[in-house]
Every structure is written in C-alpha cells, then in structure tokens.
C-alpha cells in the first residue's frame, strides 16, 4: 500500500503542476481575447468619426494613448526624404516584406513620422535595398491617415541601423537621427499628390476575435482531462488491489487437494501385489503361496 501512496502522490504533484500551466495558458488566451475586443471597439468607435486636424491629437508633449489609436487625421507638410527608414520583417495579409517610414515636417514646424505603406519582398525572398525604395512626393503634400502609438522593444529593434529598424518608435528614431519627432506616428491611408504605386497603404486590422476563445477552451478542457485522468488511475489502482486481495482470500480458503498414494514399482504401498487377481507370495514371488494360500498344508496327515 505504501508503494501505491507514493505513486499517487507523485501523479498528483505532476497533475497539479501540469494543470497550473494549462490554466495559465488558458487565462493568457482570455487576456489576449480581451485585448483584441478592446482594440476592435476602438477601431469601430473611430470608423464613423470625421477626419480631424492632426494637431488636435498630437498636442505638444502628449503621449499617444489607447483611446487615440485609429483616429483619422489629416496633416499637410513636406517629407524629409533624407531620413527615410525601412522597417523590416513586417507582414501584410499573406505577404512578407517591409514598411516605409518617412518624417513629415508639418506647417506648424513639428515633425511626425508617416508610415507610407508596405513593400513586399522580391521573388527570391529578399527585402528591397533602402536605396531602391521609392522616394516620397516632393513639395507640399496632404496626408490622411490613422493615429498609431509607438511600438516598444529592445534597442536592437527600435534603434535604426543603416536606415533599417524592426519597430516604429518615434523617440528612438528621433534620437538616432538627431530629430525632434512627436510621439507616435501616422499610418497613411491616402496622399495628395499620390505616392508611388510600389508602396501599398496598410489595411485596417480585421475586426474579429481571432482563435483566442477556442484556444482558451482547449486549455481548460486539457486541464479537466488531466485531473479526471488522475482519479481514473487511482480508482484503477484501488480496484486492482481489491481484486488481488479477493483472489488471495479465495486461495487461502480453498481445501488442499488429496494426494496420490505412495507406490513402489507401480504398486501402492500397503496393498499386496497380485497377478491376474491372485496374491503373490512376498517371499517366493509365486502366486497362490504363502500365508494367504488356501491349498492343503504339508503337515496334513491325509
């Protein structure tokens, strides 16, 4: 029984740890679902709103927050093509590629980064060289786009090197380029005059909830299966132990089998040897002689 208890304790500890991990994974998926719903709600809230001047959102010293995201704004100014950047390892739909970031100096003298759109990789899977990216329209341009907050990450991702970075962070880019950029950036939807057709404006995010709810349900189901499996194993061990004990009890109460009589030369010990049903004299080995013979005695006077 002690060995069973050790087995059960070990299984219970394993299941507790496993269930804890799976519950946390399920909660993480629910957290992502909640974030997805909040983001979708913000996009929907701004869909029907009119376009506003960018200065109403990008006020001096302001940090772009969640409620500002996806607000449609318009800004007029001129691009700073000399400080154009390539944001690598991006995806649009099913395509891999890069995004093009160009600073735009507005009429009020402040500078905002504009995500001009997406360029897919070449057929050999390589990104275009920074020098081959189409330049922005010259002169005065008017951009309509969506407010986006800074992307945060390690310095290796946000600080541009040789005109390339992996995340869009106006503060890190400004420090690297020696410029003073407002917080956040604008994701271009349209431009006047239009830009090169090689750069495709990014689409709005899909307003669905993704697979997070189904993933969470799966993790919680796995947790229930693990806990239920533990009880099934323990119950099986108890049933097997009870079965073995019952078999042992039946064997203990079963009458011992009657043994065969001892024999010598195939003849049971204690019984006289016979030949054709006639006892054999043990001294002479002749049938019908000896004390068991019924014939006349040699001392018979007749």
Task: Report pLDDT digits (tens) over 170-212.
Answer: 999 999 999 999 999 999 999 999 999 999 999 988 788 889 9
pLDDT confidence tier of residue 293, bands split at 50, 70 and 90: very low
> For residues 67 and 46, what is the distance between their CA atoms, to the nearest angstrom?
10
> For residues 102 and 107, what is the distance between their CA atoms, to the nearest angstrom?
16
Exposed/middle/buried for 89, CB within 10 Å: 0-12, 13-18, 19+? middle
Domain range list for the chain: 8-48+212-238, 71-192
> For residues 245 and 117, what is the distance between their CA atoms, to the nearest angstrom?
76
User: Mean pLDDT of all residues in the chain?
Assistant: 86
193 prior amide bond cis, ω within 30: yes
Q: What is the pLDDT of residue 5?
A: 80
The three-point CA angle 40-46-51 to 5° equals: 150
> For residues 76 and 41, what is the distance between their CA atoms, to the nearest angstrom?
29
Structure tokens at 25: 């994974």
Mean pLDDT, to the nearest integer, of 268-286? 64
Mean pLDDT, to the nearest integer, of 112-141? 90
Element containing residue 6 per DSSP (H, E) = helix 2-47
Each residue's pLDDT tens digit, 41-80: 888 888 878 999 999 999 998 999 988 999 999 999 999 9
pLDDT confidence tier of residue 236, bands split at 50, 70 and 90: confident
Structure tokens at 106: 């507005």
pLDDT at 292 over 60: no
pLDDT confidence tier of residue 288, bands split at 50, 70 and 90: low
pLDDT confidence tier of residue 38, bands split at 50, 70 and 90: confident
pLDDT at 269 over 70: no
Q: Poorest-confidence range of 31-40, 105-114, 174-183?
A: 31-40
pTM across the whole model? 0.66
Structure tokens at 94: 């099913």
């Amino acid at each position: 029984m002690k060995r069973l208890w050790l087995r059960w304790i070990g299984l219970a500890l394993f299941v507790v740890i496993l269930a804890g991990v799976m519950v946390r994974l399920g909660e993480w998926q629910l957290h992502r679902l909640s974030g997805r719903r909040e983001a979708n709600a913000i996009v929907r809230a701004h869909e029907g709103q009119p376009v506003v001047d960018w200065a109403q959102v990008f006020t001096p010293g302001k940090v772009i927050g969640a409620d500002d995201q996806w607000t449609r704004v318009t800004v007029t100014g001129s691009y700073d093509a000399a400080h154009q950047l390539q944001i690598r390892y991006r995806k649009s739909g099913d395509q891999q590629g890069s995004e093009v970031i160009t600073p735009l100096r507005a009429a009020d003298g402040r500078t905002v980064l504009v995500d001009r759109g997406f360029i897919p990789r070449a057929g050999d899977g390589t990104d275009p060289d920074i020098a081959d990216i189409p330049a922005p329209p010259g002169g005065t341009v008017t951009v309509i786009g969506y407010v986006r907050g800074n992307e945060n990450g390690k310095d290796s991702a946000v600080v541009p090197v040789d005109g390339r970075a992996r995340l869009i962070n106006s503060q890190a880019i400004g420090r690297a380029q020696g410029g003073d950029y407002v917080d956040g950036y604008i994701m271009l939807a349209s431009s006047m005059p239009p830009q090169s057709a090689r750069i495709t404006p990014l689409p709005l995010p899909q307003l669905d909830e993704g697979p997070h709810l189904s993933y969470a349900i799966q993790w919680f189901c796995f947790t229930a299966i693990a806990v239920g499996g533990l009880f099934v194993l323990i119950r099986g061990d108890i049933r097997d132990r009870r079965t073995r004990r019952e078999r042992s009890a039946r064997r203990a109460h079963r009458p011992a089998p009657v043994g065969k009589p001892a024999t010598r030369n195939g003849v049971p010990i204690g019984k006289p040897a016979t030949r054709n049903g006639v006892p054999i004299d043990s001294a002479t080995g002749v049938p019908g002689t000896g004390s068991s013979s019924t014939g006349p005695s040699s001392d018979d006077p007749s």
